[in-house]
Chains A and B, each alone.
Chain A
Amino acid sequence: MARTATAPGAPTTRLGKAAVDFDDRLIVAGPLRRTLNKVFPDHWSFLLGEIALYSFIVLLLSGTYLTFFFDASMREVVYNGSYAPLRGVEMSAAYDSALDLSFDVRGGLFMRQVHHWAALLFVASIILHLLRIFFTGAFRRPRETNWLIGVGLLVLAILEGATGYTLPDDLLSGTGLRIISAIILAIPVIGTWAHFAVFGGDFPGELIIGRFYIVHVLLIPAILLALIAVHMLMLVKQKHTQFPGPGRTEHNVVGNRLFPTFAAKAGGLFFVVFGVIAMLAGLVQINPIWLWGPYNPAQVSAASQPDWYVMFLDGSTRLFPAWDINLPGDYTIPALFWPTLILPGILFTLLALYPMIERKLTGDTAAHHLLQRPRDVPVRTSLGAMAVTFYFWLMISGGNDVIADKFQLSLNAMTWVGRLGLVILPPLVYVITYRICLGLQKHDREVLEHGIETGVIRRLPHGEFIEVHQPLGPVDAHGHGQLAYGGAPVPKKMNQIGGARRAIRGFFTPIEEPTAVELEQRREARGLAAAEDRDLTTSGRPSEGGRPSEGGKPQEPRD
């Protein structure tokens, strides 16, 4: 044993010795230290993906509870539970057990609602995360693969949601299942065979709930879990992107170390997410299956909608004209084929391939670790806004009967507004977004060149009034600023460069003593340098370049 008790730095406590023994065998100290020291930037928009991750964890936990009581079978039973208006009604065992979960299992209704709200939140946060990645250009080389995985995760999350929506076998979900069946039947050539393969016969058959159940609780969650793991490992390996700013370059990451700051924040965010889900589940009713009644193919209700993330397909179906294509020889391509299969196919393909498309169009094949502000890439930003408009418009159209009913509009008018809007609005939004981007860019340049408007009006000896501008940096002979735009936010108010006393920190309550801040301000020389210094320290810039005092080995450039 080379290690002796007298070696400098050797642990003397029992715990420390145990840790050394452990490390001798598994050699984890090095990697663990590296991992714990990993730096994550802490811009708020980087937390959107975390919301998705945490709602997925809530989904796994609540879903597991539900499986203890849910019977995924289409066996006919007669309901005899607590809910009087359905007592004596014939239904499938799946619906029966879902009713029992809601009324007779302790905490069952709450868990069902937790699960459903978490599912809605899961997809919503995935989409927000995707939009953040898109609009800041975080998908650029070298992160195209992770973008692809992300799009895969989105599609899987939607499929997971759709299968889960079907399971309770109530009148609403059964109507959705009937539409799924119709979509499968609409596939040219193989539709009928595919339908028979999926349903094991004609609709609805007796197998589909059991099959969807396994897909919902095993198949898709397992793939989701694996893809999430790869998604995050790649994030760790490739390092997080960051917004340009003081001290931030293509070769470093400025932020908080994983341990303790980032871990504490992430843990806190988990509880915030869980809290919001639990609050919704406790206070707001979701999918009251007992009101829908058991599924019966002879029945259908007005305002039968899918959950919001599939509603865009419902919308496209409502807007698409009823153009059946009748081919010779008794072949028909139903109108349903285009809005429910071709359209999402195109949408998701474009989405998945966007990094490659943009690389081709711009010729930009360099690796990027600094993000772009959406205004600096007006074409991409406008394309994104256009796509969001298109999606949003389809989604609204998916609920157009509810909107027509609640706002007392004509449903036919809603359909036509939907059709026309779908064609007119996206280009309009493209142009408007483009103009806004250019305007914002110009304003950044103007402030850099002429300085910040101070609001101080001065009258010159000959009578002219001018507004005094505060230059942001050195000026040339004409008084024009010489700073170049660096892709970071340009301060546009005097307060942002220390024109007034700086804001007292604290989100809910002040965490600083106002008088102390005032004193600190007085001590500091007023000016830009001080403000910038402070910015750097508060952004938690790590002293990552190896600690010579610890004889640290040379570090990778951007760890």
Chain B
Amino acid sequence: MSTTNPQSDAQPDDVPRRGRALRTEDTPAAAARSRRLSKARRRVANVAGLMAALVLTGALYSTIAPAHAEEAGASSDADYEAGREIYQNSCITCHGENLEGVDGRGPSLIGVGGAAVYFQVHTGRMPLVRQAEQGPDKPVVFSEEQIDQLITYIQANGGGPAVPSGNLRDGDLALGGELFRLNCASCHNFVGEGGALSSGKYAPSLHDADDLEIYTAMLSGPENMPVFGDNQLTPEEKRSIINYIQTVTEMPDPGGAGIGRIGPVGEGLVIWVVGISALMFGIFWMGTKA
């Protein structure tokens, strides 16, 4: 599995800052000095221990790594072969012998990239049960390993947007909200509840989508969704949108039951079914019958 978006931002290391804070601390007495001395000694010991551990790890790695590298190359080939086998068992009917697509059944997969495979297979949309307006998400058919093998196979045939890695939620929350409302809300609703499109198509709810699914959906534009390539929404902006979606999805409703967060339709239903019913009960109690 190759990666084009290494988002592994280093965690800010706060050890030096703590050390500086200690050093600037004003400790007047001699007792304090001796305590500082012992503290310094302990720190030296810690650093030494750390260095030793690092050296040991490096040495171990150097002895193991070559063999491992060989294995990786072999497993990549094996992945490719396994991916091709899965493809030929489960996908070939609609996407064709050479990923060229079959007219009226499925599009060509040359150049769609691993991102599209990840989204379609990981949400259970592929393999499709039947031809319809839109493939619904359903329980996943393949294991994570099999999905990786499929991705390797498809990615090797024509390239295309690859599956990103790293933390996909580290974007700016407020910016993500603005971008979501601008780009996504018109189909997926204010907070990703989903919505209807024309003729039985729909924008699905984003509740159960994990970070990678949302990211790969934006990269690949599945079903009726447009592609949001890195020129339209930068990786940083994509991560902001994911941050917003997941934050809002996980956020509890401060006002009580959320009733689907779809606004007036649900509210109208509640006032008639709950409010008016309760009050009808009240007036039956208070009034008399004819």
Interface residues of A (CB under 8 A from B): 42-48, 51, 84-89, 102-103, 109, 113, 116-117, 120-121, 124-125, 128, 171-172, 243, 245, 265, 268-269, 272-273, 276-277, 279-288, 291-293, 296, 298-308, 311, 395, 399, 401-402, 404-405, 408-413, 488-489, 507-508, 539
Contact A296 B199 (CB under 8 A): no
Instruction: Knowing A89-B177, A405-B196, A409-B200, say if A284 contacts B259 (CB, 8 Å).
Output: yes
Instruction: List the 3 closest pairs (A to B, CB-CB), nearest first.
Output: A302-B195, A308-B268, A44-B287
Q: Interface 1/0s, chain B 236-261, versus A by CB < 8 A? A: 00000000100110010111111101
Q: Inside 8 A of B189's CB, which chain A residues have their CB?
A: 301-303
Measured between beta carbons, the chain A residues less than 8 angstroms from B198 are 411-412
- Min CB gap B129→A, angstroms: 14
List 5 other contacts, CB 8 Å, given A172-B263, A293-B177: A102-B255, A272-B282, A300-B186, A308-B267, A410-B199
Q: What separation, in Å, do the CA atoms of A88 and B182 have in the docked complex?
A: 17
Residues of B contacting A285 in the complex (Cβ-Cβ under 8 angstroms) = 253-259
Cβ of B66 < 8 Å from any Cβ of A?
no
B275: which A residues are within 8 A, CB to CB? Answer: 117, 120-121, 124, 276-277, 280
CB < 8 Å: which of B268, B274, B290 contacts A489? B290
CA distance A280 to B196 in the complex (A): 29
What are 11 contact pairs spanning A and B, CB under 8 A? Answer: A120-B275, A265-B286, A272-B282, A272-B286, A285-B259, A287-B267, A296-B182, A308-B267, A411-B196, A413-B200, A507-B285
Question: Is B117 an interface position by the 8 A CB rule?
Answer: no
Q: With A285-B254, A286-B267 in contact, is A291–B261 under 8 Å at CB?
A: yes
Instruction: Give the residue name and chain of the B residue nearest to A296 (CB).
Output: B181
B282 touches A301 (CB 8 A): no
Q: Is B161 an interface residue (CB 8 A)?
A: no
Among B189, B251, B253, B289, residue most surrounded by chain A Cβ atoms (within 10 Å): B189
Please classify the interface of chain B as helix (H, G, I), strand (E, B), loop, or mixed, using the class held by over half of its residues. Answer: helix
Q: Which of B180-214 contact A (CB under 8 A)?
A: 181-182, 185-191, 193-200, 202-203
Q: Tell yes or no: B61 within 8 A of A by CB.
A: no
Measured CB to CB, the closest approach of chain A to B269, in angstroms, equals 8
Cβ distance A87 to chain B, nearest Cβ, rounded Å: 6
The distance in angstroms between the C-alpha atoms of A511 and B193, with both chains bound, is: 50
Residues of B contacting A243 in the complex (Cβ-Cβ under 8 angstroms): 290
- For the A-B complex, the count of residue pairs with Cβ-Cβ distances under 8 Å equals 214
**A272 CB contacts on chain B under 8 angstroms:** 279, 282, 286
Inter-chain contact A301/B276, CB cutoff 8 Å: no
The verdict on B265 contacting chain A, using a C-beta distance below 8 Å, is: yes
Chain B: minimal CB distance from A250 (Å): 17
Among residues of B, the one whose C-beta sits closest to the C-beta of A302 is B195
Minimum C-beta distance from B202 to chain A (A):
6
Instruction: Report how far A351 CA is from B107 CA in the complex, Å.
Output: 57
Q: How far is the CA of A433 from the CA of B88 in the complex (A)?
A: 62
Q: Are B256 and A302 in contact (CB under 8 A)?
A: no
Residue of A nearest to B182 (CB): A299
Cβ-based interface call for B54 (8 A): no
> Are the C-beta atoms of A85 and B173 separated by less than 8 Å?
yes
**Cα distance A102–B254 when bound, in Å?**
9
A411 touches B199 (CB 8 A): yes
Enumerate chain A residues within 8 angstroms of B248, measured Cβ to Cβ.
85, 291
Q: Which residues of B contact A46 (CB under 8 A)?
A: 287
B259 contacts A120, CB within 8 Å?
no
Please measure, in the bound complex, the distance between the C-alpha atom of A120 and the C-alpha atom of B279, giving whole angstroms.
13
In the bound complex, do residue B261 and residue A305 qualify as a contact, i.e. CB atoms below 8 Å apart?
no
> Do B195 and A401 touch (CB < 8 A)?
yes
Query: In the complex, which residues of chain B have a beta carbon less than 8 angstroms from the beta carbon of A125?
Result: 276, 279
Q: Mark B138-162, 1 if CB is under 8 A from A, else 0.
A: 0000000000000000000000000
Cβ-defined contact, A302 with B188, below 8 A: yes
Please give the distance in Å from A193's CB to the nearest CB on chain B: 31
**CB atoms of A113 and B255 under 8 A apart:** yes
Interface check B288, CB cutoff 8 A: yes
Tell which of A291, A307, A539 touches B268, judged by Cβ atoms closer than 8 Å: A307
Q: Which of B262, B271, B283, B287 is within 8 Å of A124, CB to CB?
A: B271
From the candidates A171, A284, A402, name the one contacting B270 in the complex (CB within 8 A).
Answer: A284
- Report if A401-B196 is in contact (Cβ < 8 Å); known contacts: A117-B271, A300-B185, A300-B186: yes
Judged by a CB distance under 8 angstroms, whether B230 is at the interface is no
Find out whether the CB atom of A405 lies under 8 angstroms from the CB atom of B181: no
A307 B267 Cβ-Cβ under 8 A: yes
Shortest distance in angstroms between A257's beta carbon and chain B's nearest beta carbon? 15
- Taking the closest CB of chain B, its distance from the CB of A72, in whole angstroms, is 22
Which chain A residues border B177 with CB–CB below 8 Å? 85-86, 89, 293
Contact A311 B257 (CB under 8 A): no
Query: Within the complex, what minimum Cβ distance (angstroms) separates A167 from chain B?
Result: 15
CA distance A282 to B274 in the complex (A): 14
Tell whether, in the assembled complex, residue B185 and residue A89 are in contact, meaning their CB atoms are under 8 Å apart.
no
| A42 in complex: contacting residue of B188, B259, B287, CB < 8 Å | B287
Tell me the complex Cα distance, A113–B256, Å.
Answer: 10
Separation of A235 and B76 alpha carbons in the complex (Å): 87
> Which chain B residue shows the least CB distance to A50?
B283
Partner of A45, one of B173, B185, B255, B287: B287
Residue on B nearest A128 in the bound complex, by CB: B276
Contact residues in A for B270 (Cβ distance below 8 Å): 280, 284
A172 pairs with B190, CB closer than 8 A = yes
Contacts of A280 in B (CB 8 A): 270-271, 274-275
Closest to A307 in B: B264
Tell me, in angstroms, the Cα distance from A405 to B189 when the chains sit together: 11
- As a 0/1 sequence over residues 26 to 48 of chain B, the CB contacts with chain A under 8 angstroms (1 = contact) are 00000000000000000000000
Residues from chain A with Cβ under 8 Å of B251 in the complex: 85
Please name the residue on chain A nearest to B186 by beta carbon: A300
User: When the two chains form their complex, are residues B263 and A47 in contact, meaning their CB atoms are under 8 A apart?
Assistant: no
Bound-state CA distance A402–B187 (Å) is 12
Question: Bound state CA distance, A305 and B270, in angstroms?
Answer: 15
Chain A residue numbers with a CB within 8 Å of B193 are: 303
Docked Cα-Cα span, A311 to B255, in Å, equals 23
Q: Once bound together, how far apart are the Cα atoms of A86 and B282, in whole Å?
A: 42
B257 CB contacts on chain A under 8 angstroms: 283-285
Q: Which residues of A contact B181 (CB under 8 A)?
A: 171, 293, 296, 299, 301
CA–CA, A97 and B283, complex, Å: 38
Known: A47-B287, A109-B255, A272-B282. A302 touches B186 (CB 8 A): yes
CA distance A335 to B265 in the complex (A): 25
Task: Tell me, in angstroms, the Cα distance from A112 to B197 when the chains sit together.
Answer: 32
**Minimum Cβ distance to chain A for residue B271 (Å):** 4
Are B202 and A405 in contact, CB atoms less than 8 angstroms apart? yes
Given A85-B173, A85-B244, A308-B271, the answer on whether A302 and B185 have CB atoms closer than 8 Å is: yes
Q: Indicate whether B174 reaches chain A with its CB closer than 8 angstroms.
A: yes
**Least Cβ distance of B178 to chain A in Å?**
6
Q: Is the CB–CB distance between A288 and B261 below 8 Å?
A: yes
Tell me how far the C-beta of B68 lies from the nearest C-beta in chain A, rounded to whole angstroms.
43
A302-B203 contact, Cβ under 8 Å, with A85-B248, A124-B276, A401-B195: yes
Q: How far is the CA of A482 from the CA of B239 in the complex (A)?
A: 84
Q: Which of B181, B186, B200 has the most CB of A within 10 A?
A: B181
B259's nearest neighbour on chain A, judged by CB, is: A284
Chain A neighbourhood of B174, CB < 8 A: 84-89
| Chain A residue at smallest Cβ distance from B267 | A286
Contact A51 B283 (CB under 8 A): yes
Tell me the bound Cα distance from A109 to B256 in angstroms.
10
Q: For A269, what are the chain B residues with a Cβ–Cβ distance below 8 Å?
A: 282-283, 286
Q: Name the A residues within 8 Å of B253 (CB-CB).
A: 285, 288
Q: Check if B278 is an interface residue, CB within 8 A of chain A.
A: yes
- Hey, which chain B residues are within 8 Å of A45, CB to CB? 283, 287
Residues of chain B contacted by A286 (CB below 8 angstroms): 255, 267
